[in-house]
């Protein structure tokens, strides 16, 4: 299954005319595109269930609203200009590190995941795990197959290693992390191709060991094994 070219066209138009008046005139187009995207989400829940525990997860647990909360934002545009969903055990509000799918025209679509907005407790647990077990993390995210798809780490860094650590030099950059996430971008041609879902799931399986590492660190959670 792929993304409809008409979804990209709708989102491009929405970016140019991000107003309630324009949206009201094109509400039928939005509802049609949303129905197609919901169908993709339902398919992906089934695909992810091959290697993640998706029991009880429905599309409403994965999808995000197009409507923006502008109450505390300087940007008062009422709508997002992308469609998105995330996939994990328990759905996007479970707290688990998840697979985030972002669909936006202009080559801005991606699959990503990782430690984007960690709590202080999660950061402390992460740094302790890197101090104890940094070689495991490096073995995942520095593997050639991982780097080929996801490139280098994204996110903010401390200028110095936090106090109390005397790390292996190879772990220094990971201990300085305030955020640690990765994404693989897809071109517009990629996402409208018939094999998009297959490519997406291959990327997800490559991302899985990294998310398993974080979830084990934060939640003492063993990787899911399909019976």
Residue-wise pLDDT for 122-151, tens only, equals 999 999 999 999 999 999 999 999 999 999
Give the pLDDT band (50/70/90) at residue 168: confident
174 pLDDT more than 90: yes
pLDDT band at 2 (very low <50, low <70, confident <90, very high): confident
pLDDT over 90 at 118, yes or no:
yes
What number is the average pLDDT over the span 35-45?
96
Q: Work out the percent of the chain whose per-residue pLDDT is above 70.
A: 99
Instruction: Give the pLDDT band of residue 194 (cuts 50, 70, 90).
Output: very high
Neighbours of 22 (CB within 10 A): 15
DSSP 59-111: GGGTB--SB---TT-S---SB-SSEEEEE-TT-TTS-S--EEEEE-TTTTEEE
In this predicted structure, what is the pLDDT of residue 71? 81
220 pLDDT band, cuts 50/70/90, is: confident
Cα 89 to the center of its chain, rounded Å: 14
Higher pLDDT, 209 or 2: 209
pLDDT of residue 189 exceeding 90, the answer is: yes
Higher pLDDT, 190 or 222: 190
Q: Is 124 left (phi over 0), alpha (psi -120 to 50) or beta?
A: alpha
- What value does the mean pLDDT take over residues 168-195? 95
């Amino acid at each position: 299954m792929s993304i409809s070219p008409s979804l990209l066209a709708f989102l491009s138009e929405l970016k140019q005319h991000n107003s309630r008046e324009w949206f009201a005139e094109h509400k039928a187009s939005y509802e049609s595109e949303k129905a197609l995207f919901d169908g993709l989400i339902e398919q992906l829940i089934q695909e992810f269930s091959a290697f993640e525990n998706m029991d009880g997860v429905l599309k409403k647990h994965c999808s995000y609203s197009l409507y923006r909360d502008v109450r505390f934002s300087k940007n008062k545009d009422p709508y997002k200009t992308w469609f998105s969903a995330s996939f994990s055990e328990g759905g996007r509000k479970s707290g688990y590190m998840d697979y985030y799918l972002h669909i936006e025209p202009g080559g801005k679509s991606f699959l990503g995941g990782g430690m984007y907005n960690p709590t202080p407790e999660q950061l402390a647990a992460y740094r302790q795990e890197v101090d104890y077990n940094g070689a495991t993390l490096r073995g995942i995210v520095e593997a050639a197959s991982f780097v080929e798809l996801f490139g280098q780490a994204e996110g903010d860094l401390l200028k110095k290693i936090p106090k109390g650590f005397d790390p292996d030099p190879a772990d220094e950059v990971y201990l300085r992390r305030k955020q640690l996430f990765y994404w693989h971008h897809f071109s517009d041609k990629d996402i409208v191709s018939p094999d998009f879902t297959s490519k997406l799931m291959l990327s997800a399986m490559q991302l899985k060991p990294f998310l398993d590492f974080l979830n084990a660190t934060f939640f003492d959670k063993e990787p899911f094994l399909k019976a």
